[in-house]
Amino acid sequence: MTRGSLVNIIRQLLKTAEPLDFLLHVDDDDLRTLITCIRDSKDFDSEPQLSAASAHGSTVTKTS
């Protein structure tokens, strides 16, 4: 999964149109932590789930 894809997922989870492009420059571990925190704080009963594999241990590729 690319870093841009992760930023788009975060944008959708937060339901915002705000540019979150600064996240493209965040350390991989910090980005995974952020995704995990968002996932853990949201109620995903009615939303598509972000799998634990996506947040923990998947490879994040930087795109410019």
Residues 30-39: tens digit of each pLDDT: 988 888 888 8
Residues 4-24: tens digit of each pLDDT: 888 888 888 888 889 899 999
Give me the percent of the chain exceeding a pLDDT of 90.
9
Confidence class for position 55, pLDDT limits 50, 70, 90: very low
What is residue 61's predicted lDDT score, i.e. its pLDDT? 52
> What is the full DSSP assignment across 2-61?
BHHHHHHHHHHHTT--S--GGGGGS-HHHHHHHHHHHHHHS--SSS----HHHHTT---B
Q: What's the chain's average pLDDT?
A: 75
- 45 burial (CB, 10 Å; 0-12 / 13-18 / 19+) is exposed
